[in-house]
Amino acid sequence: MPREGILDPEGQTIGRALGELGYEEVGSVRAGRVIRLTLEADDEREALERTAGMCEELLANPVIEDYEIDVREVGG
């Protein structure tokens, strides 16, 4: 997700389009991306730590992007 204070022209354009569709209640729109990955980990904490490392090193560019991590257990 573009960091606060970083101009997000894509989000702005989506926001304008929503307004034109009649969704006038829409305030700010920020457009980012979702990356879904599976990994093996002993527990949620480990999964979170490993994923945070991936975000810092590759998945996000901390100069311009923030990230949030959502960990869910899947079968296996």
Which positions touch another protein (CB under 8 A)? 2, 6-7, 9-10, 13, 58-59, 61, 63-64
Least Cβ distance, residue 23 to another protein (angstroms):
20
3 state SS for 52-67: HHHHHHHHCCCCCECC
Q: Which is nearer to another protein, 2 or 71 (CB)?
A: 2
Least Cβ distance, residue 75 to another protein (angstroms):
28
Rounded CA separation 27/29 (Å): 7
Q: Which is nearer to another protein, 2 or 29 (CB)?
A: 2
Rounded CA separation 45/58 (Å): 20
